[in-house]
Amino acid sequence: MSRGGLGIVSLLLALVLVGALWGMNASKSGPSSDQAKQAESQAQQVSAAVNFGQAAIQLETFHAENGTYVGAVLPPSFGVTLARVDAASYCLQLGAGTTLQHLVGPGGTPAAGAC
């Protein structure tokens, strides 16, 4: 084998090695890593708690003024949907698909899934 051929083989081997090392590192620290997924999940939970909290305050104010939750409307700025309402309780929803969360109130805590 000539020196030029050996240089190309060495270069290709180095590129394959660098690619493999990069791939292993990306699986542990990239956007699809378990740590990144866990951080995203925690951020969604905190965001949901804040949005649900603001909506719950609005609903509690409405209930204090009217004695019922029926007829309450939430502004779109909360990012929360009033999925179910009756005289003594309500259910709020946030998100879509696999990130759908709900809160049954009053006094509930955010949970996964639909109402």
Please state whether the predicted TM-score (pTM) of the whole model is above 0.95.
Answer: no
Q: Residue 9 belongs to what H/E stretch?
A: helix 3-29
Q: Could you count the other beta carbons within 10 Å of the beta carbon of residue 110?
A: 19
pLDDT digits (tens, 9 = 90+) for 32-71: 667 777 887 787 777 777 888 888 899 999 999 999 999 9
Q: Strand, coil or helix: what is 74? A: coil
Structure tokens that stand for 1 in this block: 């084998």
Contact 105, 85 (CB under 8 A): no
Q: Residue 61 belongs to what H/E stretch?
A: helix 34-66
Domain chopping of the chain, boundaries:
1-30, 39-112
